[in-house]
């Protein structure tokens, strides 16, 4: 029978399956690019550049996220109860208490960031604090702590590295192929070359979709882990409903930090439900709520 424990295990397996698909895609692109351009060193240069840029982004992820959202450190006196709630849940989760920040924004939302558990931050909006009941707020905080405990920043950074690498390789390949960098192409199978070019054009889109799918699986995992932490999945389910019902976007919403938030910071208004779903950093709230409600009483 399904439980929150099996749901957590299933989401971990699906995440690593997606990462495996990522690696297969990279190997295929690298092989074809080296064959077509007759210059395998291009692959190594692209790998080094992609790793450097994305490791730097990972190292400063908390500072970038806080600056981009306008978060301010939460005053211990003004937000005493919030500090106490975060500390209690962190102790329960076996984590150091993250630094706590507040974003002055009426849209209810929250995020966690940081390259490791010792340097993590949790930020919540004033709209979240004003609209949620205590049990709902605990569910959201537990969800964010679960991202920290599950090392989701590391996983998502790896996904960004892989997606960035594929985009760079595809761009280099297309530029060089247009300017005659294919070596002795006349002696090679033209059908294979055409299929390879089409594949490399499509590859960045596929990589982006895999990256988004990884992000969505981590949200399901954090939901399950957060429910295990509070022992009350209904609290988080109710919070997600309230957050999703808010239509307006956050004042400083941007695509660079969208995947960090518990819910889409661009608001509930989405055109084209199917397209919005596959290109979204978050799974539909209805699916997340159904997963939590369906596991009610099994903790």
pLDDT digits (tens, 9 = 90+) for 1-10: 445 556 556 6
Q: Which two tokens stand for residue 31?
A: 């092989």
Residue-level pLDDT at 215: 82
Non-local (6+) Cβ contacts of 267 within 8 A are 107, 246, 247, 248, 249, 250, 253
Q: Which two tokens stand for residue 46?
A: 């692209």
Residue-level pLDDT at 72: 97
Residue-level pLDDT at 124: 98
Q: Which two tokens stand for residue 61?
A: 């992820």
User: What Rg do the C-alpha atoms of the chain give, in angstroms?
Assistant: 21
Regions of the chain where pLDDT drops below 50:
1-2, 271-272
CB neighbours of residue 177 within 10 Å: 18
Longest pairwise C-alpha distance within the chain: 74
Q: Which two tokens stand for residue 222?
A: 């954090």
Please say whether the beta carbons of 267 and 287 come within 8 A.
Answer: no
Please say whether the beta carbons of 59 and 115 come within 8 A.
Answer: yes
Residue-level pLDDT at 50: 62
Give me the active site residues, please: 144
Question: What is the 3-state composition of the chain as percent helix, strand, coil, each rounded to the nearest 5?
Answer: 70, 5, 25
* Alpha carbons 215 and 200: distance in angstroms, whole number: 23
Non-local (6+) Cβ contacts of 93 within 8 A are 142, 145, 146, 149, 229
Residue-level pLDDT at 214: 76
User: What spatial distance separates the first Cα and last Cα of the chain, rounded to whole Å?
Assistant: 12
Strands, E, within the chain: which ranges? Answer: 72-73, 99-103, 110-113, 121-125
Residue-level pLDDT at 17: 75
* Alpha carbons 242 and 260: distance in angstroms, whole number: 18
For residue 72, the surrounding DSSP H or E stretch is: strand 72-73
Q: What is the pTM of this model?
A: 0.77
């Amino acid at each position: 029978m399904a439980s929150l424990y099996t749901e957590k295990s299933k989401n971990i397996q699906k995440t690593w399956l997606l990462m495996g698909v990522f690696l297969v895609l990279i190997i295929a692109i690298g092989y074809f690019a080296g064959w077509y351009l007759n210059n395998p060193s291009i692959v190594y240069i692209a790998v080094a550049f992609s790793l450097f840029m994305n490791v730097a982004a990972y190292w400063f992820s908390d500072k970038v996220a806080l600056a981009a959202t306008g978060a301010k450190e939460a005053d211990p006196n003004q937000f005493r109860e919030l500090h106490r709630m975060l500390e209690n849940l962190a102790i329960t989760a076996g984590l150091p208490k993250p630094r706590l920040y507040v974003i002055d924004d009426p849209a209810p939302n929250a995020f966690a960031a940081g390259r490791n558990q010792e340097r993590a931050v949790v930020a919540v909006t004033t709209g979240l604090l004003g609209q949620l009941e205590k049990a709902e707020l605990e569910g959201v905080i537990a969800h964010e702590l679960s991202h920290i405990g599950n090392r989701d920043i590391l996983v998502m950074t790896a996904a960004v590295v892989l997606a960035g690498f594929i985009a760079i390789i595809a761009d280099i390949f297309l530029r060089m192929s247009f300017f005659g960098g294919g070596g002795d192409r006349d002696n090679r199978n033209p059908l294979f070359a055409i299929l390879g070019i089409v594949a490399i054009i499509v590859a960045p889109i596929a990589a982006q979709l895999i990256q988004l799918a990884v992000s969505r699986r981590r949200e399901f995992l954090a939901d399950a882990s957060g429910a295990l932490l509070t022992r009350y999945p209904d609290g988080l389910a109710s919070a997600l409903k309230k957050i999703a019902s808010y239509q307006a976007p956050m004042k400083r919403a941007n695509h660079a930090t969208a995947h960090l938030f518990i819910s889409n910071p661009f608001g509930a208004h989405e055109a084209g439900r199917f397209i919005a779903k596959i290109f979204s950093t978050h799974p539909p709230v209805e699916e997340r709520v159904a997963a939590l409600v369906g596991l009610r009483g099994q903790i």
